[in-house]
Structure 1
Amino acid sequence: MGGAPSLRGAAIAALQAADLDEKLRLTDYAGEGWFARRLGLSSPGDPAQPSRPGRPVKPDLVSPRLVKRRSVHTPEGRISMIHALAHIELNAIDLALDIVARFAREPVPRSFFDGWMTVAMEEAKHFRLLSGRLRDLGSMYGALPAHDGLWQAVEVTAHDLTARLAIVPLILEARGLDVTPSLLAKLDEVGDGETGAILEIIYNDEKKHVAIGAKWFRFLCARQGVNPAQRFQELVRQCFRGDVKPPFNDRARAEAGLTPTFYRSLSPLSS
């Protein structure tokens, strides 16, 4: 790589890594280098933005319809659930790295990249925790099929930072705030405190991630002179193919800066 080392180049290297241990190491390297101010933001020698992240041979990627859902009340069901969560966290690492690399030349404050490298490093921590839990239970990440739907959010928002923030943190991550409390209750029922402790960490970090997304979404809307809730609804209708459906964890969402005026009108099932 020519030129001075850069955050963008380091993020792309992590994004491209197919070996997951290397991806995690390079993610931490990028974040630590950035926070120590050893890395500039971008360099003329940075590699091209990859269209897809590096991935290992396993797991097999299939349609979301083909990924079985099992009850957490069986050991196999818990392994399936943890595997699915690990896959989400792996995608979340790459989504955060992609935001940093793809939008490194946007006119935003340096603290924007502080936020997203914090997210990337925390998603890497989550993946490590869930992978370790799978090993404790006699399995491993890659042992089960997984779906490839999350990366569509990158493709459809590749040229619009405001749209990317609307869809990734404020739709996809916010969904985690909705579903995790009931999952924690189920794990408590079956006495799986080890997995529950990991999900508590992820849940609390996800609140921060949604808050980072909401902060910068509002920043961009203010700069554009548009109403953030209305702009959010426009972008979701344009860019998101899934459903925005209850139940909503209104309290956790509001704590993260995502009030019901943003999302309630998008849900046909919501009063």
Structure 2
Amino acid sequence: MPDISNAALTVLTTAEPYAKVRAARAAARDWRLGRLAHAFSAAMPDRPARPAAPELLPPNRMPKRGRAGSDASRIAMIHALAHIEFVAIDLAFDMAGRFGARFPRGFADDWMRVGADEAMHFALLDRRLRALGSHYGALPAHDGLWQAAEETAQDPLARLAVVPMVLEARGLDITPATIARFEGAGDLATARILGRILTDEERHVRAGTRWFRHGCESAGLDPIPTWQSLVARHFRGSLKPPFNDSARERAGLTRAFYMVGCH
């Protein structure tokens, strides 16, 4: 029987976007149906496979999105969000395959489900781009998200601290305003997609926070100062308001974590 790491590796080494989506869905389904062993024989790659497009640029070389509310600006925003979801597929399966052996089986349950969610989010956003006359890969994108994975590749607590509890939590903060922007432009179809993503993101942050606490408690560490120390060491940025305190609270990420300077 193949194991969970083999399935995760297949996702990570698949470059073409819709082949990656299919691999993600198949891996999550096979895990759910008991077709994968809870074993970890395969090592995860340093970097996942990537398609020829989009061109990946440093964040400071990304082109401006243009006039707010214009069709071009909306397409650029949706494309940027689609890229985030595309990379998030790999982040979820890398989490399961790289670190799953160090946690109870429920850890794999959560991150395989997250990976399937991210694949669905990407497919919804790319479908929306195509309805607007564009597609994923038509514009450049930045590679900052995977840098966070590289920075935390040896430490599951650092990965949990930075990816779900900083990067995905930031989605809880900014997505409501993004939804309002699309609603204001009359783009209710995109707003509905983002509403679905926001609901799922809260669950993803909750999973990250729960397993971070579990890992800290297993190691005899205090979760809050440990999180602050790991973020200061591994996150290339600063934690800036506004914060969606209510959504973060529902996800278990209380103000005690992030309302202290973690720069």
Shorter-chain TM-score above 0.5: yes
Q: CA deviation at 1:109?
A: 1.1
Aligned-residue offset at 1:267: 5.6
Q: Secondary structure at the match of 2:101?
A: coil
1:11-52 CA-to-partner distances (Å, cap 9, x unmatched) read: 1011110111111111111111111111102254x3x42111
Given that residues 62 and 141 in structure 2 are in contact (C-alpha distance below 8 angstroms), is that contact kept between their aligned partners in structure 1?
yes
**2:80 maps to 1:84:** yes
Partner of 2:90: 94
Indicate yes or no: 2:28 matched with 1:27. no
Q: Which residue of 2 aligns with 1:151?
A: 146
The Cα of 1:114 is off from its aligned counterpart by 0.3
Which amino acid counterpart does residue 219 of structure 2 have in structure 1? Q
Work out whether 1:18 is the aligned partner of 2:23: no
C-alpha contact 1:72 1:81 (8 A) present in aligned 2: no
SS of residue paired to 1:50: coil
Deviations 1:144-197 (A, max 9, x none): 000011111111111111111000000000000000111111111111100000
Work out whether residues 245 and 267 of structure 1, in 8 Å CA contact, stay in contact via their aligned partners in 2: no
Q: Provide the C-alpha distance between the structure 1 equivalents of 2:261 and 2:14, rounded to a whole number of angstroms.
A: 37
Amino acid aligned to 1:150 = L
Residues 60, 146 of structure 1: 8 Å contact kept = yes
What are the equivalent positions in structure 2 for 1:46-195 lying under 5 Å apart?
46=42, 48-70=43-65, 71-106=67-102, 108-195=103-190
**CA 1:131/1:220 → structure 2, altered by over 3 Å: closer, same or farther?**
same
Match of 2:38 among 17, 36, 41: 41
CA distance in 1, matches of 2:116, 2:143: 22
Look up the SS of the partner of 2:145 in the other structure.
coil
The question of whether the paired residues in 1 share the 8 Å contact of 2:57 and 2:142 is answered with: yes
Distance 2:170 2:75 in 1: 21
Provide the C-alpha distance between the structure 1 equivalents of 2:47 and 2:92, rounded to a whole number of angstroms. Answer: 13
Whole-Å separation in 1 of the counterparts to 2:183 and 2:40: 49
In structure 2, how many angstroms separate the alpha carbons of the residues matched to 1:267 and 1:231? 11
Cα distance between partner residues in 1 of 2:257 and 2:250? 14
Residue identity (%): 49
Shift in Å, 1:132: 0.1
Q: 205, 210, 216: which one pairs with 1:221?
A: 216
Number of corresponding residues: 262
Provide, for residues 210-234 of structure 1, a one-character-per-residue CA deviation record: whole Å limited to 9, x for no partner. Answer: 0000111111111122211111000
Q: Which amino acid in structure 1 is aligned with residue 153 of structure 2? A: A
- The CA distance in 2 between the partners of 1:43 and 1:139, in whole Å, is 39
4+ residue stretches of structure 1 with deviation over 4 A? none
Alignment partner, residue 5 of structure 2 = 8
Is the contact between residue 72 and residue 187 of structure 1 (CA under 8 Å) also seen in structure 2? no
Q: Secondary structure at the match of 1:144?
A: coil
More off after superposition, 16-25 vs 34-43: 34-43
Paired with 1:6 and 1:238, the residues of 2 have a C-alpha distance of 33
What stretches of structure 2 of length at least 5 have no aligned partner? none
Query: Given the two structures, how large is their TM-score scaled by the length of structure 2?
Result: 0.97
Q: TM-score with structure 1 length normalisation?
A: 0.94
